[in-house]
């Protein structure tokens, strides 16, 4: 007996494609299961209808079909190849519209968008007279990216600090 309904085995059962053991298992299940019997009856009627419809399809006239195919291929070869196809014109218009919208949006946003912090105006003459400590300000684009300017005293005295290992030894004793 099947633990579940043999749904995938019903059509092969109808067509006689199952081996002897599987066929007998499906047959014994159909004797006890009304749902599967209804399913197999509807499948059988559907297969009969399909076979009747297939039998009604006329045999194609292959000579006429090949002649028609040759005519169409010859007509296609005779047509000039163009890059413009009217059936794709809507896509060209859509692409042009999207490009115009992108350009307009870029122009509209660009003046308000800043690409980073702008350095303040620096008077060159004032820098020449400045003390030596302000020499870094001449290279302001380099200095503006240093996050440690707040701790300038510590940065200027780094060479006087003890190595990390010796500081840990001192704090532990």
Domain count, the chain: 1
User: Looking up tokens 């006890």, which residue turns up?
Assistant: 32
pLDDT band for position 8 (cuts 50, 70, 90): confident
Using an 8 Å Cβ cutoff, are 10 and 43 in contact?
A: yes
Q: How far apart are CA 129 and CA 122, in angstroms?
A: 13
What is the predicted pLDDT for the residue at 69? 93
In the predicted model, what is the mean pLDDT of residues 94-103? 91
Inside any domain, residue 50: yes
User: Would residue 31 count as lying in a domain?
Assistant: yes
Structural domain contains residue 72: yes
pTM above 0.85, yes or no: no
Does residue 69 form part of some domain?
yes
Q: Give, in order, the Cα–Cα distances in Å from 6 to each of 32, 46, 55.
A: 12, 18, 30
Confidence check: pLDDT of 101 > 90: yes
In a domain, 26, yes or no: yes
């Amino acid at each position: 007996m099947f633990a579940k309904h043999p749904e995938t085995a019903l059509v092969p059962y109808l067509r006689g494609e199952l081996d002897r053991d599987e066929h007998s298992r499906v047959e014994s299940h159909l004797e006890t299961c009304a749902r599967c019997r209804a399913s197999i009856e509807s499948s059988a009627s559907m297969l009969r209808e399909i076979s009747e419809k297939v039998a009604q399809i006329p045999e194609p006239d292959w000579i006429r079909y090949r002649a028609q195919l040759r005519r169409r291929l010859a007509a296609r070869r005779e047509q000039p190849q163009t890059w413009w196809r009217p059936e794709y014109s809507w896509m060209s218009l859509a692409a042009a519209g999207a490009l115009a919208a992108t350009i307009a949006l870029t122009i509209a946003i660009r003046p308000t968008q800043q690409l980073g912090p702008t350095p303040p105006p620096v008077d060159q003459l004032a820098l020449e007279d400045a003390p030596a400590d302000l020499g870094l300000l001449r290279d302001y684009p380099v200095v503006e990216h240093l996050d440690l300017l707040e701790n300038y005293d510590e940065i200027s005295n780094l060479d006087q600090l003890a190595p990390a290992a010796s500081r840990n030894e001192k704090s532990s004793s």
